[in-house]
Amino acid sequence: MVIEKHKAVMDDNYIDALKALAEPNRLRLFWLLVHVDQRITVAEAMDVTGETQYNASRSLKMLYKTGLLTQEKRGKWVYYTLAYQLEPHLDKLIESVRCLPKERFSDITTRCKQRLSMRVDGECMIGANSEEWLNLIS
Amino acid sequence: MVIEKHKAVMDDNYIDALKALAEPNRLRLFWLLVHVDQRITVAEAMDVTGETQYNASRSLKMLYKTGLLTQEKRGKWVYYTLAYQLEPHLDKLIESVRCLPKERFSDITTRCKQRLSMRVDGECMIGANSEEWLNLIS
DNA sequence: TGCATACTTGCACAGATGTGCATCTGTGTA
DNA sequence: TACACAGATGCACATCTGTGCAAGTATGCA
């Protein structure tokens, strides 16, 4: 029974990772984190993806819980980053996402670069839906 | 708009593959097809996994529709086989499944070998839940 | 041609999942 | 200490998904 439970837990982790990625918005967000090679805050994710605060927060949190992302709290900001040195099957899963055609995500890539350009010394300073951001993308 | 639609279709294919694998029973079945290096019929899948005819059929069909499996009809039997030479992101996805710890699937592996031993000249000859099969595993 | 068998599919229902709204927690700042 | 803001979470509801049941399709055999 203990073994059964252990198996179930291990299974669930991988299953949960697949489920987390099997949703277009989360896949886009994760693809971004795979390619941008940068930590990102919830507020930045909101601006880049155009999602609500709820969705951005939940999406990042979900990916974090599966082990695909790491979390780092800095003051009132929370940075999420692509995890490294994972188990082989999770590493391969990330590789799979990395291989997705870039053309699908060209819009999100541009917006992300714009948003990151608003950082100061590599730190996020401005919240979501700010005047500065709206001017930048208009 | 045409581009939008094209993007959606391409996305959906990968998304559907992730969804198809994000279900424990289908993941087990697919893992088996990745490792057994053999085509398999719905009836054999039923015996090996213990699933109903409905589930075995639907699971294989779903995996087939995502492109992860190929289908070959031979008389009244339908063989499903792992697909090769796929797009990079799908290939990596299969690699990911291949990397899953074998211990989780030791039971299903044993049963599959037993079931395949009932073949004649490499062909499936006996349906699901047969006397011969029930004797073999008892 | 009639029947058994292998597989697929439509239907109904229970459980899981995504989303908007509102609220709550935690942190920085005046 | 009071307030503003980043982020997390509970609730209600619509949608999606897995499953059992039963009927339908297709193939082989007598």
Q: Let me know if B57 is exposed, middle or buried by CB neighbors in 10 A (0-12, 13-18, 19+).
A: middle
Minimal Cα–Cα distance from A116 to chain B, Å? 26
Residue-wise pLDDT tens digits, A11-63:
468 999 999 999 999 999 999 999 998 999 999 999 999 999 999 999 999 99
Task: Report the distance separating Cα A2 and Cα A16, nearest Å.
Answer: 21
Q: From A95, which residue of chain B is nearest by alpha-carbon distance? A: B92
Instruction: Name the strand (E) or helix (H) holding B78.
Output: strand B77-82
CA of B137 to C1' of D3 (A): 70
Question: What is the pTM assigned to this prediction?
Answer: 0.89
Minimal Cα–Cα distance from B124 to chain A, Å? 31
Residue-wise pLDDT tens digits, B57-105:
999 999 999 999 999 998 889 999 999 878 999 999 999 999 999 988 9
Task: Report the distance separating Cα A86 and Cα A128, nearest Å.
Answer: 31
